Every structure is written in structure tokens, then in C-alpha cells.
Amino acid sequence: MRLWPKTLLYRLVLLVLVGLLLANGLTLSLLLYERMSSARTVMLDNLGYDVATSVAILDHLPADERAAWLPRLARGNYHYQTDAGEPGPVPDSWRSRSIVASLQEALGGQYALTMSAIPGPREHIQAHLRLADGSPLTIDLRPQLPALARWLPVVLVIQPLLLLLCAWLAVRQVIRPLSRFTRAVEALEPAATQPRLMDDQGPREVAQAARAFNAMQARIQRYLKERTQILAAISHDLQTPITRMKLRVEMSEEPMLRDKLMQDLENMTRLVREGIAYARSAEPLLEPTHRLDLNAFLDTLVCDYTDTGQVVTFLPAPTISPLEIRPQALRRIMTNLLDNALKYGSEAQVHLLLHDTQWLEIQVRDNGPGIDEAEQDAVLQPFYRIENSRNRHTGGTGLGLAIAAQLATQLHGQLHLHNHPDGGLVVTLRLPRVLYPSVSSSSRDN
């Protein structure tokens, strides 16, 4: 259904409004019907009494004085004529039948009454009779419904508007907690010190849902903190035995075996260091924010790579104002992305784009084989490697992109992957252009 609203708010507003309009319309119809029935009954009673009185007056007046009295006895929808009137068929409409019955009841017992329907655009009835002296008298009637008050159409227009406003306010009051819950879920991040996302205020059901959500948030943060603490503790404790093993291996008298063991120990050391880095990236950043010229920052970073012989280019944004951000965290993200790009490709390109007034994008593109779409989300998870081999030089530890994604979240940004149509992988870092509160604390190494 194309006309069916897509949002729950307007669907409920439409349903409530239609229900209120139907109920109100039924009530109004019954009231109007009852009012019309009552007015019609009163009108017919007054018609019979007034016509009987008027005919009696005309019947007692001399014939030459009756013409002068006709205007006095005339009413809004009927008047009297001292002639035989116009012939016509017997009236048969529902409105005419009730008028005929009322006149028959009022005059039929005293005068011979005949009725005729006069052709025309509007309903027109004439009642014919003869007075006591034989003179003809015609009662000319044009039936019409009782006039409606002038304010009634205005009320009929204002009433649906008031119903629409009340329905929108009522449904908005119901939908607001759901919208807050949705925003809270979208803002849920694995930061250990993240404040509560929902206030347990409002109606009882809303307060219960808010308390349950806050409890769930606290449990998730506690579980993530425990996981990262275990990872950091294991990685830290492994450094000492690895160092002792290196010393012992260096005393080996077999050069070939010594080289192989040293290579394995170096891989273990790299894994331990990246494990500690990942554990730290999951914790809230204590680095204070600084206003940073991204064009200059990225150009300096790219120059560091080109100085070591790497093929890395930078495409700056035309005009961009300084951004409030944590420089060391951003440097770690960009280093991980560029290292990953140069690991699987021979060159990399960094492109700074202004996405809109609220977001900017830093794209890192390589000329490698790319990543299958089914695995693009999985590679952002820790310890996930595309290659099946255990070669650390080709497959890596599986933590580089995970650390970058974790730090991007800490910077209130997002990390996305997609394959370029001309080949290679494009990693997009989206960062908000609006300022967010800085953390006034000492910087911490990442």
C-alpha cells in the first residue's frame, strides 16, 4: 500500500484519527438525526396548528378583506392564495407525505382537502380547499429542512483538526519511549565508562524498560571489560617467558634451528603486543582532544611512509576547518589501515572527503585483491584472518583492522569496507565534524 505511512508514529496517528473520526462522525450523525427528527415533529405540529388557525381566520373574514390578511398570515416556507392554485399529481415523497398527513389531520375534518405536487427544481406542494362561502383557498408550501446554525460548518472543520492534534500528541507520548530506546541501542558502545543511555523516569512500564536496558548495558560493559582484561593480562604475562626463551635460543649451537625458533618467537611477540594494543583500544580513551588540520596531519603521515620507500599518495580536501579530535588515536587508526593496505597491495592512496555538514570521510585504497563481500564485516572482528595459512607475514595476527574499528568507535566514528570497481579494497573512516567533549586527562600510549 503506497499510501500507508512507513513510520509507526504516523501509522498509529492515522489509525487513532480514523477511529476518532468514525466514532465522532457516528455520534454527530445520530445527534443531527435526532435534532432533525425533533425539529421536523415540532415543525409539523406548528404547521398544522398555524394553518388551521389561519384558515379559520380567513373563513370568518369577509371576502373583500381576505387579500389584505394574506401577507400577515404568510410564513417563510408557505403562504396563502385566494385562487384555485395549480393542478398536479398527488405528492408521494417521504417529506411530502408527512406534510399531507399533518394538514389532513388539521383541516380534513372540516374542509374537503386535495393535494397536488407542482413540477419544478424544488419540491413544491399545494393544498386546495374551499371556505364556507365557497371561495377557493390554496396553501402553497415549499418544504425545506430546518436551517443549520452558521457556526456548525466551522465546528465541523475545527473538530477534525483538534482530533488530529490530540491523536498526534497521544501517539507521540506513547512512541517517545520507543524512539528513546532505539536511539539508546544505536548509541550503545563497548566503552567501559559509558554513562547510562536511558533515564528511568516516566510511566511505570517505561521506567521498567529503561532500568532493564541500563542493567543490560552494565552487564555488556562488564563482560567486555573482563574479556579485555584477561586478554591484556595474558598478553602481558607472556612477554617475560618469551624473552627468556629468546635468550635460551640464542645460546643454541644449531644456526638453522635457532633461526626458526627466533622467527616463531618474534611472531609470538608481535601477537602479544597487538593483543595488548587491542585490549587498550577497547578501554575509554584518556587522550585529550586537540584541534587538528586533517590535511596537514594526513600529509605528514603519508610523507613518513614515502620516506621509507612506500608508494603512498594523498588527495586532500579542498577546504576544511580544523577538527576537534584525539590525534594519537587517529594516527593509530591510519597506521593500521595503511599497513594493512601495503601488506596486501603494492601501493596505497589516502583521500580526504567532506561527506556532508555533519560527517567527513578518510578513504584508504590499495591495489590488492580486495576482500569478498561476505567477509568484509568479519575482518573487523579480532583474530579473524582471511588466509588459511598460519604465516604471520601474509596472514597477520587478525587484530589490525579490529583495533582500527575499535578506536574509530571511541572517536564516535565508523569504519566501512568495500571493493573498488577498478580493483582493490577501500576502507572508509567516517568521523563526525561536530565537536564532542574532550577528556581532560593525561595522554596514554596506544
pLDDT, tens only, 159-180: 888 888 887 887 777 777 777 7
DSSP one-letter string for 235-301: HHHHHHHHHHHHHHHHT-S-HHHHHHHHHHHHHHHHHHHHHHHHHHHTSPP-PPPEEE-HHHHHHHH
pLDDT of residue 281: 64
DSSP string for residues in 119-153: PSSS--EEEEEE-TTS-EEEEEE---PPPPPTHHH
SS3 labels along 15-67:
HHHHHHHHHHHHHHHHHHHHHHHHHHHHHHHHHHHHHHHHHHHHHHCCHHHHH
Superfamily of domain 8-141: Sensor histidine kinase RisS, periplasmic domain (3.30.450.300)
**Rounded Cα distance, 415 and 427, in Å:** 7
Residues whose CB falls within 8 Å of the CB of residue 164, separated by 6 or more in sequence, listed in order: 13, 17
Contact 428, 313 (CB under 8 A): no
Give the Cβ contact number of residue 338 at 10 Å. Answer: 21
Q: How far apart are CA 282 and CA 189, in angstroms?
A: 10
pLDDT at 147: 61
pLDDT of residue 363: 92
Q: What does the DSSP 8-state code read for residue 335?
A: H
In sequence order, what are the residues at sequence separation of 6 or more whose Cβ sits closer than 8 angstroms to the Cβ of residue 344? 366, 368, 369, 425
Read off the DSSP letter of residue 360.
E
- Angle at Cα 343 formed by Cα 342 and Cα 345, nearest 5°? 55
Is the CB of residue 322 less than 8 Å from the CB of residue 316?
Answer: no
User: Is-contact 196 251, C-beta < 8 A?
Assistant: no
d(CA 96, CA 90): 9
Domain ranges, ordered by start, for the chain: 8-141, 188-284, 286-446
CATH tag for 286-446 (out of 3.40.50.12660, 1.10.3720.10, 3.40.50.300, 3.30.565.10): 3.30.565.10
pLDDT at 192: 46
Q: Which helix (H) or strand (E) holds 184?
A: helix 151-187
Listed residue (171, 181, 164) closest to 8, CA to CA: 171
Q: One digit per residue, pLDDT tens: the chain, 446 residues?
A: 566 777 777 777 788 878 878 887 888 788 777 777 776 676 777 778 888 888 889 888 888 888 888 888 888 788 888 888 888 888 877 777 888 888 888 887 788 888 888 888 888 888 888 888 888 988 888 877 666 667 777 877 888 888 888 878 877 777 777 777 777 777 666 554 555 555 666 667 777 777 887 788 778 777 777 776 776 777 777 777 878 887 777 777 778 887 888 887 877 777 777 777 666 666 666 678 888 888 999 999 999 999 888 999 999 888 788 888 888 889 989 998 998 889 888 899 999 988 777 889 999 999 888 888 888 888 887 766 665 433 444 555 667 788 888 888 888 888 999 998 888 899 999 998 865 443 333 333 33
Give residues with Cβ within 8 angstroms of 328, minimum separation 6. Answer: 287, 443, 445, 446
> What would the grid cell of residue 186 be?
544505536
What does the block give as the cell for 311?
A: 608508494
- Burial track 94-125 (b if 16+ CB lie within 10 A, e otherwise): eebebbbebbeebbeeebebebbbbeeeebbb
Q: What is the mean pLDDT of the chain?
A: 78
Same topology, domains 8-141 and 286-446? Answer is no
143 vs 435: CA distance, rounded Å: 75
Q: What is the pLDDT at residue 292?
A: 87
Q: What is the pLDDT of residues 27-51, one digit of tens each?
A: 878 877 777 777 667 677 777 888 8
Q: Let me know: does 137 contact 130? Beta carbons within 8 Å.
A: yes
The CATH class that applies to domain 188-284 reads: mainly alpha
